[in-house]
């Protein structure tokens, strides 16, 4: 019966690890969704800025104050922000993919441990 208890402990520990990886995965997916949302907002801003004429006035909200900003500077800032967000999305995609692979490996290990435990209980 000692081997069955040991197998049960291994299974429990692996389940805890799996639950931790799942939490991290869900958090990473939520962060990616937030980045996608920010990217879409910035695309809309970029499109609006492109519609403006060169002599149009643009204001940037800094805290509670609207500060006048050069149109070209505003366009460059939005482009830089979109570039940064795209890099973060790529990084996030890599992290999510790694977590998916980790989950699959743990699930395989869990299946093996459950099978081993079942065999031990049958043998006992």
d(CA 69, CA 31): 30
3-state secondary structure 8-36: HHHHHHHHHHHHHHHHHHHHHHHHHHHHH
Angle between helices 2-51 and 71-123 (to 10 degrees): 160
Query: Which domains are assigned to the chain?
Result: 2-123 (1.10.287.370)
Q: What is the pLDDT of residues 39-85, one digit of tens each?
A: 999 999 999 999 999 999 999 999 999 999 999 999 999 999 999 99
Q: What is the pLDDT of residues 16-42, one digit of tens each?
A: 999 999 999 999 999 999 999 999 999
Q: Predicted confidence band at 119 (pLDDT cuts at 50, 70, 90)? A: confident
Contact by Cβ (8 Å): 35, 92: yes
């Amino acid at each position: 019966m000692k081997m069955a208890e040991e197998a049960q402990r291994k299974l429990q520990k692996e389940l805890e690890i799996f639950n931790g990886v799942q939490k991290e995965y869900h958090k990473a997916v939520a962060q990616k969704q937030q980045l996608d949302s920010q990217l879409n907002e910035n695309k809309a801003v970029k499109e609006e800025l492109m519609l403006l004429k060169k002599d149009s006035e643009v204001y940037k909200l800094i805290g509670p104050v609207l500060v006048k900003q050069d149109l070209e500077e505003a366009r460059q800032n939005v482009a830089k922000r979109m570039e940064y967000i795209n890099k973060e999305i790529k990084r996030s995609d890599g992290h999510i993919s790694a977590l998916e692979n980790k989950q699959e490996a743990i699930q395989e290990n869990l299946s093996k441990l459950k099978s081993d435990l079942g065999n031990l209980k049958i043998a006992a």
